[in-house]
Amino acid sequence: MLKGTIELLGDKSISHRAIMFSSISKGYNRISNFLMGEDCLSTISCFKKLGVGIEIKKNDVFIRGNGLYGLKKPSDILDVGNSGTTIRLMMGILAGNNLEATLVGDSSISKRPMDRVINPLREMGCDIIGDNFTPITIKGGNLNPIHYKMPISSAQVKSSLILASLYANGESTIIEKSKSRNHTEIMLKSFGANINVDSLKIKVNPVDELFSQDIYVPGDISSASFIIVATLITKNSEVIIKNVGLNETRTGIIDVIKKMGGNIEIINNKTICGELVGDLLVKYTKNLNGIVIEKDLIPRLIDEIPIIAVLATQADGKTIIKDASELKVKESNRIKSVVDNLKLLKADIKETDDGMIINGKSKLKGNKIKTYNDHRVAMSFFVAGLISEGEVLIDNKDCVDISFPGYFDTIKKLIK
């Protein structure tokens, strides 16, 4: 069983944005409870190459911003590692700066589609060398405003266009297909950006400067999801997770758990740096029920679907996950990687074009699974191993450091 109280390192999405926005602000910034995962460290590395002064002290980061137009031409390529957030958001920033930079990443990034950002940036007048995949070279400066109706729901694409719009010579309008995580809008406003949000419509006006901020990064609900599910499905467990970010665009997993009958409670709500933060009290739940997960709920839990699939194997009845084709272009094809691995553990699961169908309740059996170097797959199947008959062997445990350094030790400390 799992017992105890823990506090997690900072949210990955917010940590990325805190580095980026601080780097293009004017003044001295302090970022507290920063996530020292490999993805976020890739963002730091890229902005150091762009001439930004960045210093790390324990879990805090100190940045002296270069100002909105103050980035320097890098003498080397910008390597984003495994981070899709880094490359897509940076493209928006680089598009507005009068410099040339080339972006590359690891083997996973080289397979992830970038035309979803490249095409609208070209509409704004940005000179980009490259097609759908890395390497991509951006020659920035002199952007026109854009009126863009997004064909997909993507916080990364939206954020990239918002950032580019800060540099445009007039007002831009971005219309979302459905509501995606809005950390960019919240944080940029605190830095002094002129952004107005009306439902799915976002209007961005150019500004002369952004101004430094002190930022506290709340705990990452995506990271918390693995501990939440481990607690729900492991007998006699009860865990409190403190200071978790509860932004409504990210709490789809809590909605799903409640619909499934899971015992989860939010306590001690507060607002920090514009973000809702609270503690989560989670208890083992014997009787979970299958549900349908679809439509506008999907963008609010897209990163949590691998661990939700594990949860669904322990629910009575059928769980259907659909409208989630974006899973195919994550660090791995997460539909295939999750379904294939759960089949190895003897779960009753079927792959569909845009999701999966899971029939519970299953007694999971130990086996060796393949992570495809995907951190969320590795973390999900470690949780599956807590309740399986026999050991679940994970072929690459190191990939969890991308988003959750210390993950295995964190859970082991809760095991009583």
Residues with active-site annotation = 303
AA identity, residue 256? V
Neighbour tally for 198: CB within 10 Å: 7
Contacts of 105 (CB under 8 A, 6+ apart): 79, 80, 81, 82, 83, 87, 134
Owner of token pair 């101004």: 211
Sign (positive or negative) of CA dihedral 241, 243, 248, 250: negative
Q: Is the peptide bond between 135 and the residue preceding it cis, with omega within 30 degrees of 0?
A: yes
Residues 221 and 237: their CA atoms lie apart, in Å, by 19
Owner of token pair 């009575």: 316
Show the tokens assigned to 245: 């970010």
Residues 378 and 389: their CA atoms lie apart, in Å, by 18
Owner of token pair 């490999």: 38
Show the tokens assigned to 172: 């831009």
Q: What is the DSSP letter of 291?
A: -
Could you tell me if 341 and 370 are in contact, meaning their C-beta atoms sit under 8 angstroms apart? yes
Q: Is 356 helix (H, G, I), strand (E, B) or coil?
A: strand
Show the tokens assigned to 67: 């100002």
Cα angle vertex 92, ends 89, 95, to 5°?
145
Residues 37 and 128: their CA atoms lie apart, in Å, by 29
Show the tokens assigned to 20: 């980026």
Show the tokens assigned to 361: 């309740």
Q: Which of 290, 297, 296 lies closest to 314 in space, CA to CA? A: 290
Could you tell me if 309 and 356 are in contact, meaning their C-beta atoms sit under 8 angstroms apart? yes
